[in-house]
Amino acid sequence: MANRHLCRSLAMQTLFELDFREIETIGAIDPTANRITAEFAPGAEDFSYVKELAHGVADHRQKIDAIITQAAPDWPIDQIAIVDRNILRLGLYELIFADRADVPSKVAINEAIELAKTFGGESSGRFVNGVLGTVYKELGEPGKNDAPVKKKKIIDIPYDQMPIEKLAGALVWCRFEQQFFLALVHDVFGYWTLSKGHLESAESLTDSVRREVSEELGLAAVTVGEELGVNEYVASDPEKGKTRRQVTYFSVEVAGKPALILEKKGGLDDARWFRLEEVPELRLYDDILPIITKAIRLLVKTAKPV
């Protein structure tokens, strides 16, 4: 059999082309794989593994995409770059559905990272590493011991009829040595963002904020201040379908500048303090920019000598 790394490269290019051209016909896989193999590996023998991988991803694509969505519900599949999306699909196929004796988990992840570095953008390697690592750790080798279950059909409903989920978020700040700092968390997609989480039973928004900041950042002694605004977005769940998530953000003050102890879950991989002048240089989601901007203006406006 031909070099497996090369086969994975050719399989990824096959999946990329079919995705880019929006072709979902199974019958298009073999001719596309044959043409790409002939073009990029002329004269080589036995490239059956290319087709095996491409067909494997196609056969399990619905479940693979559902796993990505479940692990990162805030990032729709269609918003992930086509190259990264298909490298993830290929990596997850080998990670979850391949014979582990033949393709160990570390091999599946490392091979996907190498493909991302070769074919993706500057941050694709870290992106793929973060997503696959998160999926593998959080889902605990999904599908390994699962019995076949009948899939629930999800009906797409109008926006105004979608169920609403309430979340609470925090813009955590402190004043230390005459400077303001903001505490931001970093996700596996390469963005700095704000801490947030779902409300637990009978929990108020402010109580939820205190709990989330304590659990996610390790900050127990905080003061919850004024409301900064509400963001809403549509999230997809493989079981529940689409829901409207409403996040109410609050200003949260911390005394001193304590160390941040990140609880690495939900696709987060880092947490740091940033001076106000550093924030504009960060990669931030568009929908939280107004929240951060409002908070910074309030801090500067109401600043008092310490």
* Domain range 159-302, its CATH number among 3.30.390.50, 3.90.79.10, 1.10.3760.10, 2.60.40.420: 3.90.79.10
Dist. CA 13–CA 33, nearest whole Å: 8
All residues at 6 or more sequence positions from 9 whose CB lies less than 8 Å from its CB, including other chains:
40, 115, 118, 119
Query: Can you give the pLDDT at residue 125?
Result: 87
Question: With 80 as the cut, is the pLDDT of residue 153 above it?
Answer: no
All residues at 6 or more sequence positions from 68 whose CB lies less than 8 Å from its CB, including other chains:
77, 80, 88, 92, 131, 135
Q: Which amino acid is at 184?
A: L
Question: With 50 as the cut, is the pLDDT of residue 167 above it?
Answer: yes
Question: Other C-beta atoms within 10 Å of 106: how many?
Answer: 10
Query: Can you give the pLDDT at residue 286?
Result: 85
CATH topology classification for 4-139: N-utilizing Substance Protein B Homolog; Chain A (1.10.940)
For residue 282, the 8-state DSSP code is S
Q: How large a percentage of the chain has pLDDT more than 70? A: 84
Q: Is 43 exposed, middle or buried (0-12, 13-18, 19+ CB in 10 A)?
A: exposed
> Which pLDDT tens digit goes with each residue over 202-211?
899 999 999 9
Give the confidence band of 148 by pLDDT, cuts at 50, 70, 90: very low
Q: Which amino acid is at 139?
A: L
Query: Can you give the pLDDT at residue 68?
Result: 78
Q: How is the chain split into domains, by residue range?
A: 4-139, 159-302
Q: Token digits for 144?
A: 């390994």
Do the Cβ atoms of 260 and 180 come closer than 8 Å?
A: no
Query: Can you give the pLDDT at residue 131?
Result: 80
Dist. CA 208–CA 118, nearest whole Å: 43
Question: With 70 as the cut, is the pLDDT of residue 72 above it?
Answer: no
- The winner for highest mean pLDDT among 35-44, 83-92, 188-197, 297-306 is 83-92
> Which pLDDT tens digit goes with each residue over 85-124?
999 999 999 988 888 778 888 888 999 999 999 888 888 8
Do the Cβ atoms of 195 and 212 come closer than 8 Å?
A: yes
Do the Cβ atoms of 207 and 196 come closer than 8 Å?
A: no
Query: Can you give the pLDDT at residue 234?
Result: 78
Query: Can you give the pLDDT at residue 246?
Result: 93
Question: With 80 as the cut, is the pLDDT of residue 138 above it?
Answer: no
Give the confidence band of 188 by pLDDT, cuts at 50, 70, 90: low
> Which pLDDT tens digit goes with each residue over 223-272?
999 999 999 887 765 556 678 889 999 999 999 999 999 886 656 778 99
Give the confidence band of 285 by pLDDT, cuts at 50, 70, 90: confident
Instruction: Kindly report the average pLDDT of the chain as a whole number.
Output: 84
Dist. CA 86–CA 266, nearest whole Å: 21
The region that residue 108 occupies, defined by phi over 0 for left and psi between -120 and 50 for alpha, beta otherwise, is alpha
Question: With 50 as the cut, is the pLDDT of residue 151 above it?
Answer: no
Reported in sequence order, the residue ranges of the chain that DSSP labels E, i.e. its strands, are: 164-176, 179-187, 192-193, 195-198, 222-237, 241-254, 268-275
